[in-house]
Amino acid sequence: LTSLASSIQNFHFDNVLMNASGVHCMTTQELDELYASPAGSFVTKSGTPNARVGNPEPRYHQLELGSINSMGLPNNGIDYYLDYALDFQAKHPDHPIFLSVSGMSPSDYTLLAEKIQASDFNGLTEFNLSCPNVPGKPQIAYDFDTTEQILTDLFKIFTKPAGVKLPPFFDLAQFDQMAALLNRFPLTFINSINSLGNGLMIDPATDTALIRPKGGFGGIGGAYAKPIALANVRAFRQRLRDDIAIIGTGGVTTGRDVYDLILCGADMVQLGTVLQVEGVACFDRLNHELEAVMAEKGYTTLDDFRGKLQTIQ
Ligand SMILES: O=C1NC(=O)NC(C(=O)O)N1
């Protein structure tokens, strides 16, 4: 699979696995480790206009079937990640990477876009429209009007490869509405899904919420998220323009889960909770497990089965 070429438009990645923003990507050291790993590419922690401390701890907890987090966008600021990206691309011109950015208000997205547009960054930019964990702030992409405004303002000035990180949707009319909106913009990709917003889990010994922020409310990731991730990838693949690539994120713990996201239409696959739990060893394990599933089916490339989910006739 390492020779596998999966492309997002003009970009070619030597394999489809990469980290999900927020996991193993806060510091230059963690980003360097991702480059040194078998991951095909990597994405930075969402950079905000100014560095942020984020929410009070405990703000992350591993669960039996996944994770809960209410980090609150702690990050070193957009300049830190942009500086890293510019230095990285000078050293590794043939290894395109993703810069994730998040605004604290709609106007922040234009500010972030202007900064990246003015820079020499030539990778892909992921505009995070779905953080569920900043107290008082909504998951932007649940508000269609605000999303339309942000994308309209953004694409007036941004001409580099861009995508949006979406929250999970749970209603077919919302898939229709969001896809119709996204199809109006020159997006290179969408990334679906972000964590399942505002879940709650309990410490059985103390009858207390597991994490401190927001009375214990946080985004759910891991195996719990798989059915929702599959449905969102499938629904957007069925509705989006063919030239908009889809990064599938959510619920991956085995190579079969990677296979299933690709079967639903994913061009690349991001790993969150499994990378947090297992570390960079998960990339080799999952690539080998994916290879085994493909071999079992007689497939040699992802194009043999991408988007070919069958339905019961
Ligand atoms: O977009 C995000 N999704 C999450 O699940 N957590 C982080 C965060 O809280 O920073 N952001």
Task: List pLDDT tens digits, range 58-100.
Answer: 999 999 999 999 999 999 999 999 999 999 999 999 999 999 9
pLDDT bucket at 272, cuts 50 / 70 / 90: very high
Q: Does the structure show a pLDDT above 70 at 7?
A: no
DSSP one-letter code for 264: T
Please report, rounded to a whole number, the percentage of residues in the chain having pLDDT higher than 70: 96
- 3-class SS at 75? strand
Would you say residue 37 has pLDDT above 90? yes
**What would the mean pLDDT of 223-238 be, rounded to a whole number?**
98
Mean pLDDT (whole number) for 19-25: 98
- 297-306: per-residue pLDDT in tens? 999 999 999 9
Q: How far is CA 205 from the centre of its chain?
A: 34
User: Best of 19, 25, 44, 46 to mutate for ligand 1, by most ligand atoms within 8 A of CB?
Assistant: 46
Q: Which three-class secondary structure state does DSSP give residue 89?
A: helix
The CA 173 to ligand 1 mean position distance, Å, reads 25
Residue 15's pLDDT is what?
Answer: 87
Name the residue of 139, 193, 194 to mutate for ligand 1: max ligand atoms within 8 A of Cβ: 194
On the CB side of 299, how many CA atoms lie within 13 Å of its CA?
18
Q: So what's the pLDDT on residue 6? A: 47
Q: Which residues line ligand 1 (CB under 6 A)?
A: 22, 69-73, 128, 130-131, 133, 194-195, 219
Distance from residue 70's CA to the centre of ligand 1 (Å): 7
pLDDT in tens, 172-188: 999 999 999 999 999 99
Predicted confidence band of residue 14 (pLDDT cuts 50, 70, 90)? low
180 CA to centre of ligand 1 in angstroms:
25
Task: Pick the closest to residue 70 from 202, 204, 198, 203 (CA basis).
Answer: 198
pLDDT of residue 4: 32
Distance 126 CA to ligand 1 centre (A): 13
How, if at all, do strands 60-63 and 17-19 pair? unpaired
Q: What is the pLDDT of residues 187-196, one digit of tens each?
A: 999 999 999 9
**Residue with CA at minimum distance from ligand 1 atom 10:** 73
Instruction: Confirm if 261 and 269 have CB atoms less than 8 A apart.
Output: yes
Check if 25 is active-site. no
Examine the pLDDT at 236 and tell me if it is beyond 90: yes
* Spatial distance between the Cα atoms of 210 and 202, rounded to a whole number of angstroms: 5
Compare 14 and 228 and report the one with higher pLDDT.
228
pLDDT in the model for residue 3: 30
Question: Contact at 8 Å (CB) between 237 and 263?
Answer: no
1 band by pLDDT with thresholds 50, 70 and 90? very low
222-20-144 Cα angle (round to 5): 90
Q: What is the mean pLDDT of the chain?
A: 95
Tens-place pLDDT, residues 103-134: 999 999 999 999 999 999 999 999 999 999 99
